[in-house]
Amino acid sequence: MAMIAAKCPQYRVTVVDINERRISEWNSDNLPIFEPGLDELVKAARGRNLFFSTEIEKGIRDADIIFVSVNTPTKTFGQGAGMAADLQYWEKTARQILANSDRDKIIVEKSTLPVRTAKAMERILNGNQGNVKFEVLSNPEFLAEGSAVKDLENPDRVLIGSRETGEGLKARKELMDVYANWVQREKIIGSNVWSSELSKLTANAFLAQRVSSINSLSALCEATEADIEEVAYAIGTDSRIGNKFLKASVGFGGSCFKKDILNLVYICRSYGLNEVADYWDSVVRLNEWQEKRFVLNMLSNMFNTVAGKKIAVLGFAFKANTGDTRESPAIYITRGLIEERALVNVSDPKALDNARLDLKDIKERVEFIEDPYRATEGSHAIAVLTEWDIYKNLDYKRILDSMVKPAFIFDGRNILNHRELFDLGFNVFAIGKAPLKHF
Ligand code: UGA
C-alpha cells in the first residue's frame, strides 16, 4: 500500500487494522518491521495520501477498492489441522465489509488463499440480495522479504484474476490501471480467478522445490566430495534451468513456503490427487531433513557430544536483511542443540527480539548477544545460519583465539571463505562440500 501511495498521488490509501499498537507504530518513527527502503517510502507518503488507522468501518465505507490482507495461517484445529489454511479472519472481514458498504466495491484478495476461495467470498458478499454489488479479484503478492521495496517497484509481473464477465473484466481493468502508474502494461497479467489463486501457491511451491532439490544434492556432495556450488553454477548456466534459487542452505524458512505447500498438498488430497500431494509434500519433508541433518552433522563431528559445550549461532532470521524469524531453520537447529544439552549463544543484528519470543520456553539455556565477538567467545563451535553480510568480514583470527580448541565452524549458508578459515586453524564444515578438518 505504501508503494501504491508513493506511485499514485491521485489515490488516497488508508491502511486499517484492529491492532492499535501496530497502527500507532506505523504512525511513528519506528515502523514495526525492518525492510530496506520502507522507512523512506512510508515517510514520504504518510499524511499526504497514505494513512494508518484503526477505524475499520469508516475505512470500508470510504473505499472504492479494498485490499484484504488478513493473515491466513495454517489451521491448528479441526479438519485439515496442520495443513489447510485457516480462513476465519478472511470470512470475518468479508462479513464486516458487507455490513459497512452502501455502494459497489471491488474486493481484492491480497492474502494467500486456497484456490476457489474467491467463490466463497463472493457468495458471502453478494448473498444478501441488496443493491450493493461486489466484484472479487485475486491479486497475489510475489514480493520477498528483505527486497520488498525493490520487488514492488520493479516486479517481474503483477497478476490479476477476475471473473471473465463484463463486470469482472471491468474491475480487472480498474486494478490494472492502478499498477500501470508505474509497472509496464505487458508485465500486468490477467487471468481467471482460479488460475491467479493457484499461481500464487504454485510459484512458492516451485521456488521451495528448487531449494529442496539443491539441498538434497548437497548431501550427496558431502558424501562424494563434489562441490554443491560448482554443481549449482554448472547447471545454472543452462538458460532453461536458470541460476536463481540454487543456493544450498541449512533449509528454507519464512512464513510462506511451508504454509503454502502444505495448503497445496491439502487441496490436492481433497480432490483425491494423492500422488500430486505426495510429490509436493516431499519438498517440505526434505527441508525438515536438511535442518535435522545439520544438527546431526554438528554432533557427529564434535565427537558425538555437545552436552555442556557452548555453541554460537550467528544469524537467527530466516534470511538476511529481515528481522523475521518465522519458520527460520535457526529455531529448529537451536532447539536440536539444546536437546543435546548444549549451551547456545544466539546472535543476530535484527532478529533478537523475535528470537527471544521463539525460544522463551528454553530461555535459561540460551543467551542472546548481538555482538558476534562476544557471542563466540569461549565457544566450541560456530553455526552460521543466516547469510548476513557482517558475518563475512569478521576478524576470525580474533574469534578463533577466544574459542575452545579444537574450534569448529559450520557454515549453513556457504558465505565464508572456508580455505582461509581452515588455514587459520578452524575445522570447517560447509553445506555440500567436503569437510576441512585438522584431525
Ligand atoms: C517468498 C517468495 O520468494 C516470494 O515471491 C513470495 O511473495 C513470498 O515468499 C510470500 O509468499 O510472501 P520470502 O519467504 O520472503 O519470499 O523469502 P525467499 O527469498 O523466497 O526465501 C525463502 C527461504 O528460502 C529463505 O529461508 C532463504 O534463505 C531460502 N533460500 C532461498 C535458500 O535456501 N536458497 C536459495 O537459493 C533461495
Q: Is the CB of 197 within 6 Å of ligand 1?
A: no
- Supply 268's cell numbers: 490436492
226-231 long-range CB contacts below 8 Å, 24 or more apart? Answer: 226/432, 227/432, 227/433, 227/434, 228/414, 228/431, 228/432, 228/433, 229/414, 229/432, 229/433, 231/432
**Percent helix, strand and coil across the chain, each to the nearest 5:** 45, 15, 40
Q: Give the pLDDT of the chain (439 residues) as one tens digit per residue.
A: 999 999 999 999 999 999 999 999 999 999 999 899 999 999 999 999 999 999 999 999 999 999 999 888 888 999 888 888 888 888 899 999 999 999 999 999 988 888 778 888 888 888 776 789 999 999 999 999 999 999 999 999 999 999 999 999 999 999 999 999 999 999 999 999 999 999 999 999 999 999 999 999 999 999 999 999 999 999 999 999 999 999 999 999 999 999 999 999 999 999 999 999 999 999 999 999 999 999 999 999 999 999 999 999 999 999 999 999 999 999 999 999 999 999 999 999 999 999 999 999 999 999 999 999 999 999 999 999 999 999 999 999 999 999 999 999 999 999 999 999 999 999 999 999 999 999 8
Q: Which of 256, 290, 324, 326 most suits a substitution to test ligand 1, by most atoms within 8 Å of the C-beta?
A: 256
The vertex-259 CA angle with 74 and 413, nearest 5°, equals 140
Q: Is the CB of 319 within 6 Å of ligand 1?
A: yes
Contacts of 435 (CB under 8 A, 6+ apart): 222, 301, 427, 428, 429
Q: Measure CA 67 to chain center.
A: 20
Determine the longest span between alpha carbons in the chain, in angstroms. Answer: 79
The atom of ligand 1 lying closest to the CA of 151 is 5
The residue behind cell 497502527 is 23
Tell me, yes or no, if 256 is annotated catalytic: yes
Rounded Cα gap, residues 32 and 35, in angstroms: 10
Distance from Cα 178 to the centre of ligand 1, integer Å: 26
- Supply 137's cell numbers: 479479484
Residue 200 backbone phi and psi in degrees, to 5: -65, -50
Are 60 and 96 spatial neighbours (Cβ–Cβ below 8 Å)?
Answer: yes
Rounded Cα gap, residues 250 and 253, in angstroms: 9
Q: Is the CB of 162 within 6 Å of ligand 1?
A: no
Distance from Cα 2 to the centre of ligand 1, integer Å: 21
The atom of ligand 1 lying closest to the CA of 249 is 33
Distance from Cα 145 to the centre of ligand 1, integer Å: 8
Rounded Cα gap, residues 247 and 242, in angstroms: 12
Contacts of 230 (CB under 8 A, 6+ apart): none
Helix (H, G, I), strand (E, B) or coil at 224: helix
pTM score: 0.94
